[in-house]
Chains A and B, each alone.
Chain A
Amino acid sequence: MHLISAKSLVKKFHQKNVINGIDFEIEQGEILALIGPNGVGKSTTIAMLLGILKPDQGSIIYWRPDYRDYVGAQLQSTPFFEGYTAEENLKLFAALYHTKLTKDQIRVELDNCHLSEAAKTPAVKLSLGQQKRLAIGVTNVHHPELVVLDEPSAGLDPRARHEIRAMIQTMAKNRQTVLFSSHDMDEVEQIADRLIFMNDGRIVDAGKPEELMEKYEVSNLEALYLKLTPSQFRGEY
């Protein structure tokens, strides 16, 4: 079943097309990775899917009319509420999704993010890794069917990246669908079921990692990334 079906999406900023007519679907239960260099339109695509930006052309069909109740999203920034503790942010985000958490549920959610000891710490004072974990925690506080994560592990050290990957894998085990964008090919290789490569506002190719590697005759995803996202420098591919 398609959770989201995007048809011929176009988005312009200042008369310039940043998304040039892209089509794709998100299948229920998959972990889908949106891959491409900075500025190719990954975040814009995500913003359109989430209803933050309106596409200038094209349409997005959702699997249910009240889809907002069943989507959790983490944008590139970690949008915590200033002056609120980690625990309060969880409560507040739950309220935004019409969910009321009991004390026990808050404890479980904090445990899931490995943040039990930081429950009373203001969210903005947490380390970057802790903030990212909390950001994913608040995304998942209402146990949505679709989780959208925009570069969830950007700027993190290896251990923090590992923890984020584990959280995404847990979501997949719980039959949640995950769409995430990333530059980290190790991460993509470990967790993604399907990939969408973007370049210059277009989808260059999409498919399962092994199928794409076979098609482009490369042995790993980093080589595939280099092949599908040409360098701006001459002499490199």
Chain B
Amino acid sequence: MNTNFLNTTFMNTVFSLSLKAAAREPFLLFWSITMPIGGTIGLGLLINQPGYSVQITTGMMAMGILFYAFTTTVFSVLAQRKRGVYKLLRVTPMPLWQYILSVSSAWILISLLCGMLVLSVGAIVFGFSLSPLAVVMIGIVCILGACGYVFFSFFISGLCKSESQASITTNLITLPLLLCSSAFYALDGAPRWIQILSYFNPFQWFISGLRSGCSIDASGWLASVGVLLVILIVSLFLAVKSLGFNKI
């Protein structure tokens, strides 16, 4: 046995294999790449209004990341739980947190790449340009949002006993998040209660962060980053709880 390697070497192996496996996921191709790109181009061309191209591009980016980092990973984590992977990890010398960190990093990186792909297509098709600072600000929001969703997916997968339960639960979570947000339409004309609800909608904060990044609105961006950080910490706490002894 080779024990001279730092643990990071093995975390890298887990990371690169997770990346490879995740990239082969057909749900990724459809829900996080094809559909957001199709939606961005289709709706952007259909509703040909000034400023809408950026709105729909960021909305679709956020949706693609939500679908991958949350919905797809709920199913991946559930499948691993059901097959006893997390139980088996208790037998190995690799701490569970190192494994979770490695696979989560891979999923977060894929989310970031998907988001950036949608952004690039939107920028090319609609001809808007972004400064390097804006791209960095958007990237940071993507990473924070994806982290929160991935950690939340560990918690939700722990509540579900089967794929059908996971399907219902993820739909019950994602649909209100999407519909009570300004991902596809402005909320200015929406009923007051929806506008109030949107203040408590983590997905809306994610979209606001992306849009603030596009326009380099530092105060809006910082507010969104702060909320996303709080969501990330809560999600991490819930994820750790769901992976506790005898719960895996």
Contacts and interface: CB of A to CB of B under 8 A. Distances in A.
Interface in A69-87: 69, 71, 73, 75-84
B43 interface: no
A100 B2 contact: yes
Contacts of B84: 75-77, 79
B92 A97 contact: yes
A66 B14 contact: no
Given A53-B246, A143-B1, A100 B90 contact: no
A91 B21 CA distance: 13
Nearest to B245: A54
A33 to B, nearest CB: 20
A200 interface: no
B3 A88 contact: no
A51 interface: yes
Interface residues of A, number: 34
A118 B83 CA distance: 20
A142 interface: yes
Interface string B99-111: 1000000000000
B77 to A, nearest CB: 10
A98 interface: yes
Contacts of B1: 69, 97-99, 142-143
A91 to B, nearest CB: 6
Nearest to B83: A79
Interface string A84-122: 100010011111111110000000000000000000000
A83 B85 contact: no
Contacts of B234: none
B80 interface: yes
B93 A82 contact: no
A47 B25 CA distance: 32
Contact of B94 (A51, A77, A91, A96): A96
A54 B246 CA distance: 8
Contact of B10 (A51, A54, A100): A100
A161 to B, nearest CB: 22
A88 B24 CA distance: 13
B21 to A, nearest CB: 4
Interface of B: 1-3, 5, 7, 9-10, 13-14, 17, 20-22, 24-25, 76, 79-80, 82-85, 87-94, 99, 245-246
Interface of A: 47, 50-54, 66, 68-69, 71, 73, 75-84, 88, 91-100, 142-143
List 3 A-B pairs, minimum CB-CB distance, nearest first.
A95-B13, A83-B21, A79-B84
